[in-house]
Amino acid sequence: MCAVDVTSVISTDRLILRGPVMSDAPTIASLANDLSVAAMTGTIPHPYGLTDAETFIARAQACDWKSEANWVIEHQTFGVLGGLGLKRSVRPELGYWIGRPYWNRGYATEAVRAALRWVTRDWRKSVIVAGHFADNSASGQVLCKAGFLYTGDIEHRPSAARGRDDVPTRMMVWLA
């Protein structure tokens, strides 16, 4: 009998969302070590080094795809340019980040839309939540373009890079 680890792979016109592998660690570390990137996420610390990237990859490789999904966002020409994750619960929550050299090119919106198709097909969920820090309107625009709507709720969420647990976060919802 042969055991094969299977991770979900999603393709779009320009991107591939796939499980991270250890050879991605230097690129992930380089892109995520930018404070402008890390400070707009809840979980990426700053500074972010190679060991942090390797730890993330090991955790992502060990995840149960029935309850958590972690992808790197890879451009077919430029390589890895960010990451996207989903945590399954009553209302799954989506999070993502894009390295600064790749901002304002539509990659985040394209990746989020692809992940939404996946979560409705594979997890059979029709309600997804996401949030963006109030000082990150670009992320709000990405979520709006992907079909999310503001709930009117503002939660105080942690940001590892900022060293705070009370960053105002504008909550949004997507309904299939």
Q: Is residue 3 part of a domain?
A: no
> pLDDT tens for residues 139-176?
999 999 999 999 999 999 999 999 999 999 999 999 98
pLDDT tens-place string over residues 44-102:
999 999 999 999 999 999 999 999 999 999 999 999 999 999 999 888 999 999 999 99
**pLDDT-based confidence at residue 3 (cuts at 50, 70, 90):** very low
Residue 146: give the domain boundaries: 10-175
Judge whether 171 lies within some domain: yes
79-87/164-175 β-pairing: unpaired
Supply the pLDDT for residue 90: 81
CATH number at residue 86: 3.40.630.30
b (16+ CB within 10 A) / e for 36-67: ebbbbbbebbbebeeebbbebbeebeeeebee
Domain count, the chain: 1
The beta strand positions in the chain, using DSSP E, are 10-11, 15-18, 68-75, 79-87, 93-98, 127-133, 149-159, 164-175
Asked if the structure places residue 25 within a domain, the reply is: yes
| Assigned domain for 2 exists | no
Model confidence band, residue 6 (pLDDT cutoffs 50, 70, 90): low
User: Does residue 118 sit within a domain?
Assistant: yes
Structural domain contains residue 94: yes
Task: Tell me 63's DSSP state.
Answer: S
The pTM for the full model equals 0.94
Please answer whether residues 132 and 139 qualify as being in contact, where contact means their C-beta atoms are separated by less than 8 angstroms: yes
Cβ-contact 28, 56 below 8 angstroms: yes
Q: Specify the residue for token string 């109030």.
A: 134
List, in sequence order, the alpha helices (H) in 81-136: 107-122
User: Per the domain annotation, does 4 fall within a domain?
Assistant: no
Inside any domain, residue 24: yes
Length of the chain: 176
Q: In this predicted structure, what is the pLDDT of residue 126? A: 93
